[in-house]
Amino acid sequence: MTAEQAPCPPGAVCALTFLCSVVVLPLLQGRLTLLRDSRTDGSFLVHHFLSFYLRAGCKVCFVALLQSFSHYSIVAQKLGVSLTAAKERGQLVFLEGLKSCLDLVFGEEEEQPGQPSPLLFLSGSPSDLRALFDFVRVSLSAPGSEACAGPVLLLDDLSVLLGLGASPVALLDFIHYCRALVCCQLKGNVVVLVHSREDSEDEENELVVNSLCHHSDLILWAEGLATGFCKDVHGQLKIIQRVSLQQAGEQDLVQIYQYKIQDRNVTFFARGLSAAVL
């Protein structure tokens, strides 16, 4: 099943080409990628990363906390990947946060021993995210999961966990453990989506986001335009490659593109060169 991509206007680059050239080639294994959005919805990045990694043949563990499986499945179909098929052949392990939460809250008292709910922190007794980490560990270290480019952990999205009662420290510990497991031990990648705002009063969220920004190797920051809503340019994507983490004294590379989201594709172009203007 191939995706029909809308023809790109001159000067614009299709999302897949874009991801290949800008994001992936410099992105070797064992990296933490942070997807960040302010004043707009950055979930299109999650969909693209998911379909990209599945197409590349990597084993993916997707922790989807905010939307249902059918939502991602329908969008992935438009992008040319079948999530159901990937799940059946074991390439994708999908944690549907909403369903686990309902099972935990409305489920009967006796739980299967050895299989605690990944969202056990909701019930309050262990206030850290150990159960969630155990879930990730079991799904990614399962035997037979050696894939070509290493396993990938995808998290959508982290800011929800703060609203559910996890403390910022517990959240950062969880990310640290995941990085130690996935990036260092399994030589894979971790991709995390967070929400942020400039004038946000949510200090816990800002703490988590700032801390993750310092630890990430690549930051993709989707922002709404400062001038407001525009039909032809949906936002601006800032790509920050943290070269300073590898070599001391070097500056981070920052690139800024504007984008427009279409039904099956996202087109990127240089600032001010949208097809509507040219």
DSSP structure string for 89-153? TTSEEEEEHHHHHHHHHHS-S---TT---TTGGGGSSS-SSHHHHHHHHHHHS-TT---SS--EE
As measured in angstroms, the least distance from the Cβ of 11 to another protein is 21
Of 220-239, binders to another protein (CB under 8 A) are 228-229, 231
Instruction: Tell me the C-alpha distance between 223 and 254, whole Å.
Output: 14
Q: Residue 224: count other Cβ atoms within 10 Å of its Cβ.
A: 17
Which of these segments, 5-13, 17-25, 50-58, 255-263, binds another protein (CB under 8 A)?
Answer: 255-263
- Based on its alpha-carbon atoms, the radius of gyration of the chain, rounded to whole angstroms, reads 19
As measured in angstroms, the least distance from the Cβ of 253 to another protein is 27
As measured in angstroms, the least distance from the Cβ of 249 to another protein is 37
| Residue 41 in the binding site for another protein (CB under 8 A) | yes
Among 8, 27, 160, 213, binds another protein (CB under 8 A): 160
Instruction: Tell me the C-alpha distance between 180 and 93, whole Å.
Output: 19
| Residue 102 in the binding site for another protein (CB under 8 A) | yes
Among 104, 172, 207, 243, binds another protein (CB under 8 A): 104
Cis bond leading into 157, ω under 30°?
yes
Nearest to 133 by CA among 172, 168, 87, 102: 172
**DSSP code of 199?**
T
As measured in angstroms, the least distance from the Cβ of 34 to another protein is 17
Residue 228 burial by Cβ neighbours in a 10 Å radius (0-12, 13-18, 19+): exposed
Which residues, listed in sequence order, are joined to residue 239 by a DSSP beta bridge?
A: 220, 255
Which C-beta is closer to another protein: that of 51 or that of 216?
Answer: 51
Which C-beta is closer to another protein: that of 47 or that of 179?
Answer: 47
Instruction: Tell me the C-alpha distance between 41 and 112, whole Å.
Output: 38
| Residue 264 in the binding site for another protein (CB under 8 A) | yes
As measured in angstroms, the least distance from the Cβ of 68 to another protein is 5
| Residue 134 in the binding site for another protein (CB under 8 A) | no
Contacts to another protein by CB under 8 A: 41, 43-44, 47, 66-71, 74-75, 78, 87, 93-96, 98-107, 112, 115, 117-118, 122-124, 135, 138-139, 159-160, 162-165, 195, 197, 200-205, 228-229, 231, 261-264, 266
